Amino acid sequence: MNEFSSADRRVRKYFFYGGTVLLFLILWNGFFRIQISGSEKFSEISMNNTVRELTEYPARGVIRDTYGNILVDNRPSFMISVIPRRMTNQTLTALAQLLEEKKASIRKKLRGRNSFRPVIIKRDVDYTTVTRLEERRLDFPGVIVEVEPKRYYPENVFSPHIFGYVGEVSRAETRGGKKFEAGELIGKSGLEYTYDTNLRGMKGTRFVRVDAEGRELGPLSEERDTQAEPGLDLYLTLDYNIQQFAESLMVGKRGAIVALNANTGGLITFVSKPDFDPRNLSGKISPEVWDALQNDPGHPLYNRITQSVYPPGSTFKLVAVAAALQEKIITPDWSVYCPGYFKLGRKTIKCWNQKGHGKISLLEAIKGSCNVYFYQLGLKIGLETWAKYSKMFFFGKPTGIDLPNEKGGLVPTVEYFNKRYGKNGWTKGNLANLAIGQGELLVTPLQMAQLAMILANKGIVHVPHLADYLYDNKNQRRFKFPVQTKYVQGISEEVYNVIREGMRRVVDGGTGWRGGVYGIPVAGKTGTAQNPHGDDHAWFIGFAPYDNPALAIAVIVENAGGGGANAAPLASLVMEKYFYKRLLPRIVPKKDTTETVPDFQMPPPFVPDSIPRMEVILGTN
Amino acid sequence: MTSRFDYITLFLVTILVCIGMLAIYSASSFTGTGGAEYFNRQALWAVLGFSIMISVGFLPAKTLQQISYSFYAFMIVTLIYVLFFGKVGKGAERWIAIGSVHFQPSEFAKLATIMAVSSFLSEKYADVNRLKYFSGAVGLILLPFLLIARQPDLGTAMVFLAIIIPLLYWAGLHWFYIFVIVTPLLTMLLSFNFVAFLILMLLIVLVLILSRKKPIVLVAVFLMNIIVGIVTPTIWGQLRPYQQQRIMTFMNPEKDPQGAGYQIIQSQVAIGSGGFWGKGYLKGSQTHLRFLPAQHTDFIFSVIGEEFGFFGVSIVLFFLFLLIVRLIHLASTMKNGFASMTIIGIATVLGFHVFINIGMTIGLAPVTGLPLPFISYGGSFLLANLLMMGVVMNIAGKRFEF
């Protein structure tokens, strides 16, 4: 055994020492990396591991009308979440069975999620299901039942287009904003969307200690917890009393009624029909309900006030008047003879009044809504000027209301026609048509209400809005949304005076006489918009009182026929309700009255038989 | 019988067993349930183990060498018996029941094998560089390896493979043979990266030329490496996806946080969250909330890492290091071949266990189920380790008698 004392063995010995040192250094370095360099990261993971972060969902802010009546409230509802890491196939099967869902769809929800944090599987679970789950608690390790507020609408509250609805964050929103966890509820449309950040409040977090089995062992420490902050209450400019009344007027009809405060732009009524029950989109939305809404031929999901565009018909003649007077193309005295038709080249265009208006000047033409007069006026103005003034009145672009997806409509210009029909492809006929509000021109009901407000205020525009202020219940503070005001530049007061006088005459014995309100001088304009898809749309826009306007209104009833007969009465009723807070017995003004309107006094008692029947001017323009 | 104990080894072993007991107490005391059960049992085993260790230390000088073959034969028979009649534990038959006590013979087979090989290679005229002795020694090791791998207990079986090279090298195996054994393994690992493979081949050629062996040997070795390098990726391609998955999980545990990687991640989290000073004894949240798998056995070091931090880890590592260095030192002072080789074999087994077990807790080594000597909970394992130390003390105490 000489070998074991040879020099060769000394070399071998050092190999062993060296190897041992190396291996221990590798280990030591490994611990250094994890415990010193990676300490922070692993501590955090450790926290996530042994401490479960529970999200406390705050109550969403309540939406109220201008008098504080609750329009959108909250009610508790149950939701079921699971902790992905604790899900066994067995539990999953049992859960799928309980919730009557497919296992694959639950799996899909868990994919790619933090395996220690609860993932919401189902919302708005009914009470019996929750009871059944609690009874068989041991079969459902890692399944959590939580309570969260759900949107609730008091009886008689509808107006889905105003409020919109709340829904779960889709994957896309999770990635984009990064601030939402998938499954969290956010406003998807309407005011819920626009004021989502204010209404949503702040999520709170509660930390509880859990063991590896996922059992909660109690709170970690109160200091780390953050309370959920409830959302702010949203007060609207809306008067829901009038809103409800206006909605009742539109039952069975398609169209819209928009009334706004001419001094602030705050919307008072905002009715778009047909609509749907907002309760159907609160909580879980059944696919059948959704499909039915989407495929309904009446398009109830559409907010007609901001998302539907119509030809405005004769209501748009007011814009032509403004252009003609301001550009000094005519004076109010400029007259035209209306034989009931108008020849343009080889074409003959009829006036609505086939008997003809005879020789009329501007104010008479507005009052009688004479097409022949405005055809000729349109030709004198020219497309370029007409388009310029249309845009001055903010047509062709969204008003900026606090609702999502507002449309801007369309104001055709020379470029537009050149592009559409070719340089010489369009004629003066197109222009004549535009002057009476037909043709390619498209507007939203809200833009028409805005026009009424501009004329009422002689150029001052307040951006239409629904939200008045936010109220923080906790700190009792109010956050008022400032009224945004714009001014229509370059139209003189004289021009407004002429237009307004014309509008006053429209209601005062003109085509819009049904738009009048007892004791309140109303100015307005009717419109009967032809449309290629069916019967004419009935329009009425107006404001009141004439001297010191408080309210501007626009009414459209789709395929209803003449504006004077079918839209103006609705406007009248809404205004009446607004000014008197109740309905008056019908007072029928005399035709062509020039008397000054008497001061308001209590109207005589309502006796239906005593109302004189008026001859109805059918197809009033 | 003038016996001089190796007090340094005794001291280090005692310290490590005490640390182990502390850690076991902590690992098994959960919130709500008492943790004394495992502690008491381990204490009982420790008392028994220490008595055996000291008794073995007092055995007469030549006895160990004399019984080494019989011990080996007995262990082989036991392993065969276990293979057919063993108790099933964790899906592998590796236990043998004596009364109410369950034994794991593979733990003792390590010592038996080391002693048998040492005995074989320390015979007169034995030369490990000759084919007869080389293959004999390797055969002695491979037999228990195969029996244990069949159980299947791949972790423990790996220990047998791991002692081949160190033991034979210590016995005097020429470096060229080691080179011939080691290079194919390296080639296997590097064959997936073409550049690395090329560099390795160049190095092999360089070493081969410098070795001045016969040309035919050189060519054979080179060709063998080339073939291994080509075949490995091919076999990999033919592995079933789940098999690849297992290997990949080992390489990158975070890829599979729910499966095997879960253990490694949880262990890393426990250790990492310990920071420098640790969370304090009995205060490891990962440990006490049962996030760690097998925390009183295979992942006992994670408990130490979490509760005592980098500071505590360094101390425990240092004691383990000292013990192994002490064994190497003892082995190198032995004049007797059997004594020297036995101790180096034991040192290798310890070192392998330590590196694989601790490396596993921080993701440096695969999860194989190898416990940590002296510290992990487990009766037969503690007993086997203390028996090994008894052998070391016996040899070390009588080194002047050889």
Question: Residue B65 corresponds to which amino acid?
Answer: Q
Amino acid at A175: R
Whether A35 sits inside 8 A of B324 (CB atoms) is no
- Taking the C-alpha atoms of residue B76 and residue B58, their distance in angstroms, rounded to an integer, is 26
- Say if A43 is an interface residue toward chain B (CB within 8 Å): yes
Sign of CA dihedral A211, A212, A216, A222: positive
Q: Does B328 touch chain A (CB under 8 A)?
A: yes
A415 part of contact set with chain B, CB < 8 Å: no
**Is residue B259 within 8 angstroms of chain A, CB to CB?**
no
- Residue identified by tokens 């097409």 is A371
- Taking an 8 Å cut-off on Cβ atoms, the answer to whether B355 and A27 are in contact is yes
Spatial separation of the C-alpha atoms in residues A13 and B166, rounded to whole Å: 11
Residue A247 and residue A218 share a domain: no
Rounded CA-CA distance A345/A329 in Å is 22
- The last residue of one of the domains, among A234, A261, A281, is A234
State how far the Cα of A372 lies from the Cα of A1, in Å rounded to an integer.
Answer: 131
Residue B210 counted as domain residue = yes
Q: Kindly state whether residue A308 falls inside one of the protein's structural domains.
A: yes
Please give the full DSSP string across A121-169, using - where no structure is assigned.
EEEEE-HHHHHHHHHTGGG-TTEEEEEEEEEE--TT---HHHH--EEEP
Amino acid at B126: A
Same domain assignment for residues A458 and A526:
yes
Within-domain flag for A19: no
Do A210 and A320 lie in a common domain?
no
Structural domain range at position B105: 7-397
The reported pLDDT for the residue numbered A597 is 46
Q: Mark which residues 54-93 of B lie under 8 Å from A by CB.
A: none
* The total number of structural domains that make up chain A: 2
Cβ–Cβ contact B4 with A under 8 A: no
Which residue intervals of B212-336 are DSSP H helices?
215-238, 241-251, 260-274, 285-288, 300-333
Handedness of CA B243, B248, B249, B255 (dihedral sign): negative
Q: What is the pLDDT along chain B (402 residues), one digit of tens a residue?
A: 445 678 899 999 999 999 999 998 888 775 444 467 788 889 999 999 999 999 998 888 788 999 999 999 999 999 998 887 765 554 445 566 655 556 788 889 999 999 999 999 988 888 888 889 999 999 999 999 999 888 777 778 889 999 999 999 999 888 888 888 888 888 888 888 888 888 988 998 888 888 878 888 888 888 988 888 888 888 887 777 666 666 665 555 555 444 555 677 778 888 888 889 988 888 777 766 666 666 778 889 999 999 999 999 999 999 999 999 999 999 988 888 899 999 999 999 999 999 999 998 888 887 777 899 999 998 889 999 999 999 999 988 776 555
Q: Provide the strand spans (E) within A237-368.
A: 255-261, 267-273, 336-338, 341-344, 347-350, 358-360
Say if B196 falls within a structural domain. Answer: yes
* Chains A, B: CB pairs < 8 Å: 135
Is residue A514 a contact partner of residue A488, using CB atoms and an 8 Å limit? no
Are the beta carbons of B76 and B144 closer than 8 angstroms?
yes
Class of residue A69 by CB neighbours under 10 A (exposed 0-12, middle 13-18, buried 19+)? middle
Extract the tokens encoding A270: 């905002």
Contacts of A523 (CB under 8 A, 6+ apart): A455, A456, A500, A503, A504, A506, A507, A542, A543, A544, A546, A549
- Estimate to the nearest angstrom the gap between the alpha carbon of B162 and the chain centroid: 8
In chain A, residues with a C-beta closer than 8 Å to the C-beta of B332 are 9-10, 13, 16
Which token pair is B399? 């080194």
Per the DSSP assignment, residues forming a β-bridge with A147 are A78
Indicate which of A27, A207, A210, A211 best probes the interface with B, i.e. most B CBs within 10 Å of its own CB: A27
Tokens, residue A6: 């040879």
> For A26, which of B273, B313, B364 is closest by C-beta distance?
B364
Q: Are the C-beta atoms of residues B140 and B122 closer than 8 Å to each other?
A: no
Are B337 and A1 within 8 A, CB to CB?
yes
Q: Flag whether residue A32 sits within 8 Å of chain B, measured between CB atoms.
A: yes
Q: Distance (Å, rounded) from C-alpha A568 to C-alpha A561?
A: 12
pLDDT at A590: 57
Torsion of CA A421, A422, A425, A426, to 10 degrees: 60
Instruction: Select from A234, A265, A283 the last residue of a domain.
Output: A234
Please report, as a single letter, which amino acid is at residue B216: I
Instruction: Tell me how far the alpha carbon of residue B236 is from its chain's centroid.
Output: 27
Q: Do the domain assignments include residue B299?
A: yes
Question: Looking at the structure, do residues A149 and A260 belong to the same domain, yes or no?
Answer: no
The reply to whether A417 and A479 lie within a common domain is: yes
**A268, A452 in Cβ contact below 8 A?**
no
> Structural domain of residue A205, as residue ranges?
52-234
Instruction: Identify residue A447 by its one-letter amino acid code.
Output: Q
Nearest 5 degrees, angle CA B23-CA B26-CA B29? Answer: 145
Would residue B402 count as lying in a domain?
no
Judged by CB atoms within 8 Å, which residues 78-117 of A form the interface with B?
A: 85, 115
Residue A469 burial (C-beta neighbours within 10 Å; 0-12, 13-18, 19+): middle
Same domain for A201 and A338: no
User: How far apart are alpha carbons B261 and A391 in whole angstroms?
Assistant: 66
Instruction: Give the pLDDT of residue B61.
Output: 74
Secondary element (H or E) of residue A51: strand A51-56
The pLDDT, as a whole number, for residue A214 is 61
Asked whether residue B177 is assigned to any structural domain, the reply reads yes
In a domain, B103, yes or no: yes
Judge whether A5 lies within some domain.
Answer: no
- Both tokens of residue B53? 């260790």
Domain count, chain B: 1
DSSP result, B210-226: HHT--HHHHHHHHHHHH
Q: Which helix H or strand E contains B62, and what residues bound it?
A: none
Render pLDDT for A343-400 as a digit per residue (tens, 0 to 9). Answer: 887 778 888 888 888 899 999 999 989 989 998 999 899 899 999 999 999 999 999 9
CATH number of the domain where residue A66 is located: 3.90.1310.10
| C-alpha distances out from residue A208 to A40, A211, B235, B307, Å | 20, 10, 49, 21
Amino acid letter at B268?
Q
Contacts of A113 (CB under 8 A, 6+ apart): A84, A119, A182
Q: Does residue B334 contact residue A4 with C-beta atoms inside 8 Å? A: yes
Query: How crowded is residue A246: how many other Cβ atoms within 10 Å of its Cβ?
Result: 28
Please say whether the beta carbons of A43 and B275 come within 8 A.
yes
The residues facing A70 across adjacent strands are A64
Give pLDDT < 70 ranges for chain A. Answer: 1-8, 47-53, 112-117, 170-183, 211-215, 220-224, 283-284, 585-621
Q: In this complex, is the C-beta atom of A347 within 8 Å of any C-beta atom belonging to chain B?
A: no
Interface test with A, best of B123, B326, B332, B335 (most A CBs within 10 A): B332
Torsion angle in degrees (nearest 10) through CA of A457, A460, A464, A465 = -100
Cβ <8 Å between B166 and A16: yes
Of A27, A45, A115, the CB nearest to B269: A45
Q: How far apart are the first and last CA of chain A?
A: 126
Q: Assess contact for A449 and A259: CB atoms under 8 A.
A: yes
SS3 assignment for B160-186: HHHHHHHHHHHCCCCHHHHHHHHHHHH
CATH number of A265's domain: 3.40.710.10
What the block records as the tokens of A277 is 């029950």
Beta bridge partners, B103, equal B96
* Complex ipTM: 0.90
Residue B2 lies in a domain: no
CA max distance for chain A = 140
Cβ neighbour number for residue A185 with a 10 Å cutoff? 23
CA-CA distance, A40 to A195, in Å (whole number)?
A: 38
Residue A33 domain-assigned?
no
* pLDDT tens column, A507-563: 998 899 999 998 899 999 999 998 888 889 999 999 999 999 999 999 999 999 888
Indicate the DSSP class of residue A87.
Answer: -
Q: What percent of chain A has pLDDT over 90?
A: 42
> Among A202, A234, A266, where does a domain finish?
A234
A326 and A354 fall within a common domain: yes
Inside any domain, residue A21: no
Q: Which of helix, strand or coil describes residue A602?
A: coil
Does residue A570 fall inside a structural domain? yes
Confidence at residue A451, expressed as pLDDT on a 0 to 100 scale = 96
pLDDT, residue A290, reads: 85
Residue bearing tokens 């009329």 = A360
Pairing between β-strand A460-462 and β-strand A341-344 as defined by DSSP bridges: unpaired
Preceding amide of A545 cis, omega within 30: yes
